[in-house]
Amino acid sequence: MEFSFDVDALLPERITVLDQHLRPPARRPGTTTPARVDLQQQIMTIVDELGKASAKAQHLPAPITSASRMQSNRHVMYVLKDTSARPAGKGAVIGFLKVGYKKLFVLDDREAHNEVEPLCILDFYIHESLQRHGHGRELFHYMLQKERVEPHQLAIDRPSQKLLKFLNKHYNLETTVPQVRGFKG
Ligand code: ACO
């Protein structure tokens, strides 16, 4: 996913972690620094465009990820950029993973309600042209380390078929106890 501005300069690392402040990361020494407000606008554009692409890929009626939603929630977004060698360009974004803690009442297999507050996978998207190349796994692995959680401790908000297969393949996660109601990301 390409943008009119320089993604490589805006996101110096392969994976950028964004929270509700949507702070532009520190730039590499020697890189010219545009006004901070312009950089934040660029970050917001990336978040909005990723949210739209993810919604489209999942056939959702509207994006569940946007800059304004990020600013009003305590979610964390891991953004993966393309670092493959390419002729001097402006860089590209490959995808993202969004997580956040949610209070949930879950039904266990005896149909009892339990209140828990797990880390939830809220949104996850890798660009169509780059799916099944290991990028999703790279992002997921990075998130698990940063958040210090094990895959089986996560809650997943309405996983897609692709995500179910992904979790099964990489983390052997299989059994799910369907819940009465979903929750909003
Ligand atoms: N069909 C079936 N399984 C798939 C597909 C697909 N088109 N794409 C990925 N997978 C699963 C498979 O298990 C695959 O292994 P395989 O190729 O050996 O069958 C495995 O994922 C590949 O792993 P990665 O390459 O690391 O995953 P990828 O980079 O493709 O990222 C993701 C996975 C994020 C699910 C990606 O496929 C995607 O963006 N899909 C569309 C959007 C989506 O469904 N997002 C999840 C929404 S649900 C939620 O966020 C709570």
- Structural domains of the chain, ranges and CATH numbers in brackets: 7-184 (3.40.630.30)
Task: Output phi, psi for 130, to 5 deg.
Answer: -125, 10
pLDDT at residue 184 is higher than 50: no
Q: Is 28 in the pocket of ligand 1 (CB under 6 A)?
A: no
Report the Cα 24 to chain-centroid distance in Å: 16
Going from the Cα of 27 to the center of ligand 1, the distance in angstroms, rounded, reads 31
Q: Is 60 in the pocket of ligand 1 (CB under 6 A)?
A: no
pLDDT at residue 182 is higher than 70: no
Q: Is 152 in the pocket of ligand 1 (CB under 6 A)?
A: no
Q: What is the pLDDT of residues 134-164, one digit of tens each?
A: 999 999 999 999 999 999 999 987 899 999 9
pLDDT at residue 76 is higher than 90: yes
3-state secondary structure the chain: CCCCCCHHHHCCCCEEEECCCCCCCCCCCCCCCCCHHHHHHHHHHHHHHHHHHHHHHCCCCCCCCCHHHHHCCCCEEEEEECCCCCCCCCCCEEEEEEEEECCEEEECCCCCEEEECCEEEEEEEECHHHCCCCHHHHHHHHHHHHHCCCHHHCEECCCCHHHHHHHHHHHCCCCCCCCCCCCCC
Mutate to test the pocket of ligand 1, among 54, 65, 131, 183 (most ligand atoms within 8 A of CB): 131
Q: Is 56 in the pocket of ligand 1 (CB under 6 A)?
A: no
Look up residue 40 and give its amino acid: Q
pLDDT at 86: 65
pLDDT at residue 18 is higher than 50: yes
Whole-angstrom Cα distance, residue 27 to residue 103? 36
Prediction pTM value? 0.91
Percent of the chain with pLDDT over 70: 91
pLDDT at residue 31 is higher than 80: no
CA of 137, closest atom in ligand 1? 26
Place of tokens 């990820």: 65
Whole-angstrom Cα distance, residue 20 to residue 140? 20
Task: Label residue 185 by pLDDT band (50, 70, 90).
Answer: very low
If you take atom 42 of ligand 1, which residue's CA is the nearest one?
A: 125
Q: Is 162 in the pocket of ligand 1 (CB under 6 A)?
A: yes
Q: Is 58 in the pocket of ligand 1 (CB under 6 A)?
A: yes
CA of 169, closest atom in ligand 1? 13
If you take atom 1 of ligand 1, which residue's CA is the nearest one?
A: 162
CA of 128, closest atom in ligand 1? 39
